[in-house]
Amino acid sequence: MSQLAHTAAQRFEQIFGHAPTGVWAAPGRVNLIGEHTDYNGGLCLPIALPQRTYAAAGPRDDDIVRVASLDFDEQAEVSLDDVAPGVPGGWLGYVAGTIWALRERGFAVHGLDLATTSDVPIGAGLSSSAAIEGAAGGAASGLFNLGLLDSDASRVTLVDACRRAENHIVGAPTGGLDQTASLRCLPRHALLIDFGHDARVRQIPFDVAAHGLRLLVIDTRAKHALVDGQYAARRANCEQAARELGVDLLGRITPEQLPDALSRLSDQTLRRRVRHVVTEIARTRQCCDALEHGDFQQVGELFNQSHASLRDDYEVSSPELDLAVAAARGAGALGARMTGGGFGGSAIALVPVAALDAVKRAVADAYLAREWTPAHVFAVHAAGPADRVAVHEAQLVE
C-alpha cells in the first residue's frame, strides 16, 4: 500500500476521531498528444500518472462535506445545500462540487468526511484538479454504494460529475480530457479518446521502457491556471470559427477539407486556431499508428510538430515551455512538447535511456543560465485509474 494512503488513513482517524471506511485514490495525467482538441470534438491520447491524490473517507448522516487537506494543513466544510457556482471557493469546490453533481444527477449521496493528500504537483498542468475530483467522487461512490467505479460504463457517469463540478462550481470551462484520463486509463496503456463520438475510447499499449526509452515530465514550475481568461478565449475562438464554417464542432473538419475551411474564414487568428485543431487531431491519429507499430522516431516527430502548432498557431506555450522543449531535443530527446492547457505547466520528452542524464542536465543548465526557478524533471509511466486502495483494518487503526 502506498505510504500516502496510509498517511491519509492515519490522519483521518486523528482528526475525525474514528477510522475511515476506506481510502480512494485518483491519478493525475499527462496527455501524450491531442491538445485543445477535447472541447472541439477531437481526439486525445493521455496516460494516467503514478502520482495520485488519496482520500480517506467516512460517511456522515447529515449533508456536510468536511475536508482536511493534509498538504495545505487546512480544514474546511460546506453543506451540500449551499454549493453553487463559485461556492465554496478554493480546493473545497472541487470536492464538494463533485458530490453535489452526483446528487444533482439523482444519486442518494449525503455528507462525508475526507482527509486528502497528494503527490500530483499542483498547478503543473498534470490535472491535480481531476485527481481530487476523482478521489472524492470515488469515495462518495464507495461510501454510498453507487458502484461508479465498477465498470468503464459506470466510470463515464463519474467523469460527467467531476467535469460538472469543474465547469459549473469551480468555473473552469475545461473539456473532459483530464477526468476521462483519471478515471478510464489502464496501466501500460494510453487512452485514445474520441470526443466527437461520446468520448468512446480505445486502449493503446504504451510501454516505452520496453523500447529502451523513458517519458520525462518537465514541470517548468511556471504556474498555470485554467480559470484565467486565456483558456476560455481559445474556446470562444473555436466556437466562433465553427459557427462561421457551419459545423457544430471543429473536429468535424477533415485534413482534406482544411484548405477550403481556412479560405472561408475572415480572420487570421481564427485561421490559425482551426489549423491547429484539425492538424492536431490528425497527428493524434498518426501517433496511435506509430505507437502500434513501435515507431518511436515518428512519435517523437509528432510531439515536435504538436509543440510547434501549439506555440505558433494556438499560442498557448510559454518561454519556459519552449526552452524546456528545445533543451530536451538538443540533448537527444526523440521529441518533446508542452502538455495540458499550456501557459506554463509541464512539457514531456521522449528520451532514449542513454540520453537521460544529458537531457536532465541540458534543461537544468538552460534554466540556470536564465536564472529561472529550476524545472522539476522526472520519469513517468502509464499507471492505473482511480480506485479504492486496499488498506487493511489493522493499518487503519494502527
Residues in contact with 113: Cβ distance below 8 Å, sequence separation at least 6, in sequence order: 12, 16, 20, 57, 58, 59, 60, 66, 67, 68
Please give the DSSP secondary-structure letter assigned to residue 373. P
Say whether 150 is catalytic.
no
Among 38, 63, 194, 313, binds ligand GLA (CB under 6 A): 38
Contact region for ligand GLA (CB under 6 A) — 1-9, 35-43, 356-364, 385-393? 35-43
Least separation in angstroms between CB 177 and ligand GLA: 4
Task: Please name which of 164, 138, 160, 133 lies closest in space to residue 149, comparing C-alpha atoms.
Answer: 138
Which strands form 335-339's sheet, in the order they lie side by side?
A: 335-339, 346-352, 213-219, 376-380
Alpha helices in 202-248 (DSSP H): 229-245
Of 22, 42, 137, 175, the residue at the interface with ligand GLA (CB under 6 A) is 175
**177: contact with ligand GLA by CB under 6 A:** yes
Closer residue to ligand GLA, CB minimum distance, 141 or 306:
306
Note whether 97 binds ligand GLA by CB under 6 A: no
Give the dihedral sign, CA 306/308/309/311.
positive
Looking at the Cβ atoms of 20 and 42, the one nearer to ligand GLA is 42
Query: In the window 192-231, what residues touch ligand GLA (CB under 6 A)?
Result: 226
Q: Which range, of 174-182, 213-221, 239-247, 294-302, touches ligand GLA by CB under 6 A? A: 174-182
Give the HSE-up count for residue 116: Cα atoms under 13 Å, Cβ half-sphere. 34
Residue of the chain from 6, 36, 283, 311 that contacts ligand GLA (CB under 6 A): 36
Residue among 35 and 320 whose Cβ is closer to ligand GLA: 35
Q: Which of 38, 160, 178, 194 is catalytic?
A: 178
CB of residue 206 to ligand GLA, shortest distance in Å: 18
Cell triple for 286: 498518426
Other beta carbons less than 10 A from residue 357's beta carbon: 12
**CA gap 364, 325 in Å, rounded:** 12
Cα-Cα-Cα-Cα dihedral of 341, 313, 323, 118, to 10°?
A: 10
Residues carrying an active site annotation: 178
Interface residues toward ligand GLA, by CB under 6 A: 31, 35-36, 38-39, 174-178, 226, 340-341
